[in-house]
Structure 1
């Protein structure tokens, strides 16, 4: 399909054709992308992708290969998605793929997540762990994390750099050069105590070592041609002195970092050849943190993008041409052949969950490949509206309001939907939870309460050790603001959340029992004291205490579990048995406490479910349970349905 044809297709989707809102099946929102994470081979002749497939007996995740020349398709890896999560597939060369995967496990009785890195031969389909043979025999213990690729070295397609611990007891992470044929390895940077990660320069030399000792971090440079290190920066976590390395330029002395500038995270560069390296500002935003991201083109031998925006004129022009062909969308180049002729575009918008297109610069063509969510009609989706309200102390809180298709005026049954994290954020991008709620006739309010990421140092600091305090007040204030605006029906409001959002949902019912008519908590924290203590066997225990708190008497009082008697509205709890972020016992304990108090509570336990609803069946079970629960307690009026039917 030529570029003009694609443009015509997309244009037809935004013409002013009368729409009629209709309730889509739950499956339309809960099915994972049938095919996702498309990547071109270096020579541009093949596509790799991850495919999900659910049958009555199996829940499969597959690595699929598509030959663009012959049209041949074949499956390289098949796994049960309940046991294994494949989260990345990378071309090492034209004949081999590197697959990153994770699975739930236990170490010394402690539930953990393990990661592995596999080499896949695209011709034979054979795969194996990169850690085998001689390399495996060198290890004194099996590393928990085995997928930390430091450098792929595109000019050396037979080897790559891997960060790995386990070569001795009590030491940190080393860097080894691993042969893709599995026969040889070479130690290129040795571990030191407390060393947990590395950054390589563009000449494929491990140059920056990151150390962690409780809450104290140190960034050191490994001096070239010696065994010596020098300290560049030292800081405590969650302080304004943080400096985080991002990557190198072609010049091995020019390092880019993320650090604070006038209270907001910005991108700087520094010259390591100086006796005392100083930071030179490269990109800043007076209102928001700049994403800590740079892109490097090894073909052009230079940085081409900083903070998610192209700085190279050639790539700027290329992006401009793509955006002109695919207007009103966020268009990202997610893969490109080594000769930069063929490329993959992922195009999405507030109402379009994402499509993949294949471009060819020589042929000046763009071919539609597939929609990520084929069952979601963009004409039935709605865009988020950016909003702002004042918290009770005058702090400005940003958020997003989503209303049902065709909504004009009047009160609506409402979902208050605080995000997880809590050091995370909501944005205007497509969100299948929000679209599901809006499709069911509910208004949805998401707020970036204090402590959310992206708003600078002071805003983040306000959320430290603030669970159940002003962070919770920000959620309540947003709810009352939406009522005052005449949008939320005060008699039909449910608070829904996942992870920290599940905690906020339950605490909302505890602190303001009159404000909400029901609560949904997916994988929510119910016992904050127990959550913090559960990290005692992990190396980030001190960081968790600094973030959440270590006054256990106070944490107990800020836990929904302690105040089960105060909850006066129906509660739906959902949790996976293999959740490695928030243990399933958190929801089990809350369910028992509510039952003891004769409260209206339902509990759905997802067998082998994780923290992220990674499996289709778990998403389907969760959304069906929410759908039934919300329809029972937040009835959509016939008048509201009538308004939706008149959508323009």
Structure 2
């Protein structure tokens, strides 16, 4: 089949509207109250995602519990005693999250941490103490989080520990601080035991820098007799261990040579691990508890695609189960374990039912030095007649690079993959070296390799796609957010002829200024950045950061570039985008710059996300030739400002 015929077949497929993919879900984030009496979920109110609830026995009797009007609530959870819903919220993307409480009986709302320029952390919660939690507050010193006991009934705060040295803490079920953690000179982590409120001078556990991202405590059982660890020391991938706290003896519970042990499922009352997950190409759950194993077997027989436990009642008889059918919208079910009954609670985006959603293909790509890169490929509809993951003719390709970089891509429904595939592009997401989840060797292979072997992996992935007839060599774009935005700038400055165009979303252009402007509460962990990126306090490290910064190669850009930025981003400051735009303009190089004054590290408001993606769609259509939904009033409905390059994109 010729490329022309393939394009004609794609053209016959209906366009999935941008606002369906990137607008608010109808419902999301379902939870069961600990006592099992209530259901809660997120749903739009006046266009903004808010929290709703209803009796478990009557989900239709919904009432709205929050009244956010400017930004969606990013996270909520139930109080341990089920009397209140708690949520966090920041202002315009500044990530200074405060903690709020909504009383279930009265619907009265209270800010529990009414401080300016403060970011709350949850330090500890308890199964047996239901009216208190421990929180960390950096209102005294923005760099350090003091530990406070918060009475959820009265709102009273009582200081537990004034913190001037510690990056984090571990507690037990009695809400007693048991460990204090701080970074050591090598960039690893020292763990100091706390006895009767006194922190030991010497660490009991030392985690080397090579293990720092793959080793940590995973919590105590309720009775304090067992401490769980996810630990890569002495091995490559993180294993699940249990420590007898009386004797210190440790027992290996699970390990996998392909990937780190990921999540665990714990008994609500005892805290004992009942199941664990491993995610290499796809997530696999392994059950230790026989009853949980039976429940998973039953669910597996009922559901197509992937599933997992979203929430459980304390008696463990009621579950919320998410289900990703992979080529249909994600669903949430109410599972009654006693009756083995499953009923639909909600579909996240019913408008996607019957839409031409495409399967995601897990693939392994071998880099030039032999490292295997777990990756994910989605192809345009009607382009792969036999479904083997290779199109009938090469297609334009978007290399979609994840952020972090200490994060990973995973298998499952991905709205960006579906959107771009629907517009006629193949979409390839690569877990390049430095990504997490595949063991410490995989992560550490990316140390001080920004713009170097980390970028080589992306280049190798493009060459893999071209060599197999997946991608049209002349029509490959690079796109991503945060580190993915940085990778886009690297792609256009270090390999300027490889990509047809690039989309940088909140990506740093200057690693030197990036490290100078990190949020103050990241300072206790800054040695990790220095060891993995380059140490600006040494001449060699500073030179490395400069050598790896696209800002110093802006004059080499020869392909079109689109940049999106939030003005309030605390991680990658607006100045990072301003710098590269100004440098390109000095050299007379075209660039389009979209700025959102009410956003931070990414675009949380759907109006802004839809508007930016409308611009992206026009940009890609101009440079790769894919399909484009007409741009209507998206920009006018958003807060988007376009300081540069409006003229370079059709429709703007």
Q: If the length of structure 2 is used for normalisation, what is the TM-score?
A: 0.84
Which residue number in structure 1 is paired with residue 261 of structure 2?
Answer: 290
Report deviation, 1:256: 0.8
On the 8 A contact 1:391/1:397 being kept in 2, the answer is yes
Say which SS state the counterpart of residue 193 (structure 2) adopts.
strand
In 2: Cα distance, 1:241 partner to 1:432 partner: 28
Which residue number in structure 1 is paired with residue 493 of structure 2?
Answer: 510
Report deviation, 1:69: 4.2
Q: How does 1:54-93 map to 2 (within 5 A)?
A: 55=47, 60-69=48-57, 71-82=60-71, 85-93=73-81
Report deviation, 1:203: 4.5
Which deviates more, 233-242 or 192-201?
233-242
Where do 5+ consecutive residues of structure 2 fail to align?
1-10, 278-284, 385-391, 536-540, 629-652
On the 8 A contact 2:123/2:147 being kept in 1, the answer is no
Say which SS state the counterpart of residue 613 (structure 2) adopts.
helix
Where do 5+ consecutive residues of structure 1 fail to align?
1-18, 106-111, 133-140, 639-648
1:22 to 11, 14, 17: 14
Which residue number in structure 1 is paired with residue 598 of structure 2?
Answer: 608
Q: Deviations over 1:261-282 (max 9, x none)?
A: 52111111222323xx354322
Which residue number in structure 2 is paired with residue 94 of structure 1?
Answer: 82
In 1: Cα distance, 2:138 partner to 2:596 partner: 34
Which residue number in structure 2 is paired with residue 50 of structure 1?
Answer: 42
Which residue number in structure 1 is paired with residue 206 of structure 2?
Answer: 234
Which residue number in structure 2 is paired with residue 460 of structure 1?
Answer: 443
Which residue number in structure 2 is paired with residue 592 of structure 1?
Answer: 582
Q: Residues 593 and 156 of structure 1: is their aligned pair in 2 closer, same or farther, counting only changes over 3 Å? A: same
Report deviation, 1:190: 3.4
On the 8 A contact 1:161/1:175 being kept in 2, the answer is no
**Is the aligned partner of 1:211 residue 2:182?**
yes
1:359 to 335, 343, 354: 335
Report deviation, 1:227: 4.2
1:546 to 514, 531, 534: 531
Report deviation, 1:442: 0.5
In 1: Cα distance, 2:370 partner to 2:406 partner: 21
2:353 to 377, 399, 407: 377
Which deviates more, 309-318 or 63-72?
63-72
1:581 to 551, 571, 590: 571
In 2: Cα distance, 1:145 partner to 1:241 partner: 23
Q: Residues 192 and 177 of structure 1: is their aligned pair in 2 closer, same or farther, counting only changes over 3 Å? A: closer
In 1: Cα distance, 2:142 partner to 2:625 partner: 59
In 2: Cα distance, 1:634 partner to 1:262 partner: 45
In 2: Cα distance, 1:619 partner to 1:435 partner: 15
Which residue number in structure 2 is paired with residue 5 of structure 1?
Answer: none
Which residue number in structure 2 is paired with residue 303 of structure 1?
Answer: 273
Q: Residues 556 and 480 of structure 1: is their aligned pair in 2 closer, same or farther, counting only changes over 3 Å? A: same
Which residue number in structure 2 is paired with residue 3 of structure 1?
Answer: none
In 2: Cα distance, 1:167 partner to 1:442 partner: 47
In 2: Cα distance, 1:441 partner to 1:426 partner: 21
Q: Residues 556 and 300 of structure 1: is their aligned pair in 2 closer, same or farther, counting only changes over 3 Å? A: closer
Which residue number in structure 1 is paired with residue 640 of structure 2?
Answer: none
In 2: Cα distance, 1:364 partner to 1:170 partner: 50
Report deviation, 1:45: 3.0
Report deviation, 1:557: 2.8
Aligned Cα root-mean-square deviation (Å):
2.9
Say which SS state the counterpart of residue 352 (structure 2) adopts.
coil
What is the aligned length? Answer: 593
1:178 to 143, 150, 172: 150
Which residue number in structure 2 is paired with residue 9 of structure 1?
Answer: none
Q: Residues 143 and 603 of structure 1: is their aligned pair in 2 closer, same or farther, counting only changes over 3 Å? A: closer
Which residue number in structure 1 is paired with residue 617 of structure 2?
Answer: 627
On the 8 A contact 1:419/1:426 being kept in 2, the answer is yes
Q: If the length of structure 1 is used for normalisation, what is the TM-score?
A: 0.84
Report deviation, 1:180: 2.0
In 1: Cα distance, 2:406 partner to 2:271 partner: 35
On the 8 A contact 1:268/1:279 being kept in 2, the answer is yes
Report deviation, 1:411: 1.0
